[in-house]
Amino acid sequence: MRRVLLLGSPNSGKSSLFNRLTGLSQRVANYPGITVDVASGPMVSLPDTELVDFPGTYSLEPISGEEAIAVSFLNEALADDNVSHVLCVADATRLEKCLHFILQVIRECQLHQKPVTILANMSDVIRDNQLHFDPIGLSEALGVQVISVSARESQGFESLVECLGVDAALNLHADRNWRETPNEILRGTAQQLAEKFSPKGDVLINSQLRLDRFFLSTALGGLAFFAIMFLFFQSIFTWSAPIMDAVESVVSGLGQAVVPLIPNKVIADFVADALFGGVGAFLVFVPQIFVLTLVIGIMEDSGYLARAALICHRPLRVFGLTGKSFIPLLSGVACAIPAIYAARSVDSPRQRMMTYLAIPLMPCSARLPVYALLIATFIPSDTALFGLIGWQGMALFAIYFFGMLVALLVTGFVSKASKNKQPEQPFVLELPPYRLPTAKPLLRNAWNRCQQFVTQAGKIILAVTMVVWVLGYFPNGGADLGQSWLGTLGHFVEPVFAPLGLDWRYGIAILTSFLAREVFVGTLGTIFGIEGSEENMLPLVDHIQASGLPLGSGIALLVFFAVALQCVSTVVILAREGSSRLALTMLVSYLVGAYLLSLLVFQIVSVLL
């Protein structure tokens, strides 16, 4: 298969073009450094051609992890005979930051005898703002073809496909030879070309500046930051409540309709307890994950996240992190795995290590079902301000805040305790323009995330709930859970959890949650499903309330889940991206820390109440 490479500066629209041309859904967002690995797929209009999306890089001399990946992949790809063409994407409205890279790429392609074409993206912005851009002049100056395209409006794609179809040898005919030109000369040339061909005027900068004056002003900007973060957490809980209720009633309605139809009692019990009780209890939380991913996506795509990184840079530095850690940390609120990959964009190795330390403490969406369950158990669902703000949302904010606080304390402590030999790396970040988020990719991304969540976590949950159900149902047919195999096992581990005021049922649920945190909910659902009477399938919350779980234990559970590293995948990825030693140290110390902290919390709450 022929391969075509898609290179370019960060945030120039490579992944957007890739998605348009392949029909796939690579992650796209308005922040430089979103793509951190290469992705590939066949082109819709040329099925025998595979397009390869690269992480953005400002030059072929990388300073961060994802750039190094792009550069080393590029070197491999240029030596690959299957690579038939290189497409270099530039943001036509901001040519000045792309030209140096373009020249470097042209030089490398000429050295390796690969045809190269420049795609000047964002032609819609050029048109809408009546900017002047001269692709023909630029093409003459560079000696390679320049095509104006817009990924947003799918414009210019015919010329693009046509140029890919042309015989490679024709494309190789270069009017200008950059082969021998050293980097310093390329830089100078880039500047001259930028002066000549960059769209003139400051229309774009001025409209961006008006918003920045607000979002980056000393007082209002800080307030806006907290308001946005607050709304963010409210949205997860309060705004997704109606969808969750809907899912909940669908699940229980289905259960009530299906279970009586099953003639065999054991199978009926299994379907009711393990499937509807266990897996169903977890499905209820999927809407929250959808809302969470969507809201993070909106923040990223609007361009605000880069501003947030800037605002947070100084405060984060106190804790050994950098403003660039902000995006990985915020992604960690969705899931630690993409967050660990996103940390590649943190250029300093030391600060990247600190970011790794903090990520698993970020309140990820796998914790959300657990938090939501416990919060719903103890906190009334009253709302204020027309349902915009609720007590449960506030409680969630508090526990999320707790996780982040622990993360900062850990990195702060470790960075103070470990001597720093190298000087701090400086902070440079491109601030992308503010853009109205586009609904379709955002919704698609949130949908994909939910699908992933359901299929990946769902498989584990299904397996675990099945095992838990079998152990809990036999040998006495669900008559007495305490005397079942599970009960015997539970009483064996109970002493570990008794100091937290938790009985063996919670102990078992915690043990299973080391596979993945959300399994906790499924396991509890199954256990209470076996225990509960058959006629009324109560929501899990009601079961827990009825079981008389003390408040202190509830809070201790929240604290335990906030700190412990109960996720096999995170440990594996940490070992791969960081080191096995790091992963192991974090696993053990976060576990011990979680246990001790929750013990402390339980004792304090018990004394107070």
Partner 1 sequence: MNNASAVKALWDLRPGEAATVTGFGDTLPVSYQGRVMEFGFQPGARVRCLLNPGFGAPRVYGISNSVFSLDREIAAAVHVAINNSVEGLA
Ligand X SMILES: Nc1nc2c(ncn2[C@@H]2O[C@H](COP(=O)(O)OP(=O)(O)OP(=O)(O)O)[C@@H](O)[C@H]2O)c(=O)[nH]1
| Interacting residues with ligand X (CB under 6 A) | 8, 10-16, 28-30, 32-35, 55-56, 121-122, 124-125, 150-152, 301, 435, 438
118, 156, 480 from 115: Cα distances, Å:
10, 19, 74
When asked if residue 132 is in the footprint of partner 1 (CB under 8 A), the reply is: no
Closest CA to 365 of 556, 570, 529: 570
Closest CA to 350 of 416, 306, 428: 416
218, interface contact from partner 1, Mg ion, ligand X, none, CB < 5-8 Å by kind: partner 1
When asked if residue 494 is in the footprint of partner 1 (CB under 8 A), the reply is: no
Shortest spacing between CB 132 and ligand X, in angstroms: 17
Shortest spacing between CB 15 and Mg ion, in angstroms: 3
Site for partner 1 in 516-575 (CB under 8 A): none
Shortest spacing between CB 229 and ligand X, in angstroms: 21
When asked if residue 191 is in the footprint of partner 1 (CB under 8 A), the reply is: yes
Q: How far apart are CA 113 and CA 79, in angstroms?
A: 10
Site for partner 1 in 413-432 (CB under 8 A): 424-431
List interacting residues with Mg ion (CB under 5 A). Answer: 14-15, 35
Residue environment code for 115-130, b if the CB has 16+ CB neighbours within 10 A, otherwise e: bbbbbbbbbebbeeee
133, interface contact from partner 1, Mg ion, ligand X, none, CB < 5-8 Å by kind: none
List the one residue from 137, 188, 242, 349 that touches partner 1 (CB under 8 A).
188
| Max CA separation in the chain (angstroms) | 85
Distance, CA of 369 to chain centre: 17
- Sequence-ordered list of residues with C-beta below 8 angstroms from that of 335, at least 6 positions apart, any chain: 364, 365, 366, 449
Q: How far apart are CA 311 and CA 429, in angstroms?
A: 12
Q: How far apart are CA 254 and CA 521, in angstroms?
A: 19
Shortest spacing between CB 147 and partner 1, in angstroms: 20
Report the residue number, 310 or 446, with the smaller CB distance to partner 1.
310
Shortest spacing between CB 194 and partner 1, in angstroms: 6
Q: How far apart are CA 270 and CA 283, in angstroms?
A: 17
Binding window for partner 1 (CB under 8 A); candidates: 55-63, 350-358, 563-571, 579-587:
55-63
List the one residue from 283, 310, 333, 457 that touches partner 1 (CB under 8 A).
310
187, interface contact from Mg ion, partner 1, ligand X, none, CB < 5-8 Å by kind: partner 1
Q: How far apart are CA 282 and CA 457, in angstroms?
A: 9
Report the residue number, 35 or 64, with the smaller CB distance to Mg ion.
35
End-to-end Cα separation, the chain, in angstroms: 70
When asked if residue 194 is in the footprint of partner 1 (CB under 8 A), the reply is: yes
255, 280 in Cβ contact below 8 A? yes
Shortest spacing between CB 352 and Mg ion, in angstroms: 20
When asked if residue 435 is in the footprint of partner 1 (CB under 8 A), the reply is: no
Closest CA to 319 of 406, 418, 411, 403: 411
When asked if residue 331 is in the footprint of partner 1 (CB under 8 A), the reply is: no
238, 387 in Cβ contact below 8 A? yes
217, interface contact from ligand X, partner 1, Mg ion, none, CB < 5-8 Å by kind: partner 1
Handedness of CA 504, 507, 511, 516 (dihedral sign): positive
Size of the site for partner 1 (CB under 8 A): 46
Shortest spacing between CB 526 and partner 1, in angstroms: 50
88, 102 in Cβ contact below 8 A? yes
Q: How far apart are CA 272 and CA 528, in angstroms?
A: 11
Residues that bind partner 1 (CB under 8 A): 58-59, 61, 63, 93-94, 96-97, 100-101, 183, 187-188, 190-191, 194, 198-199, 201-202, 204-206, 208-209, 212-213, 216-218, 221, 306, 310-311, 313-314, 323, 424-431, 433
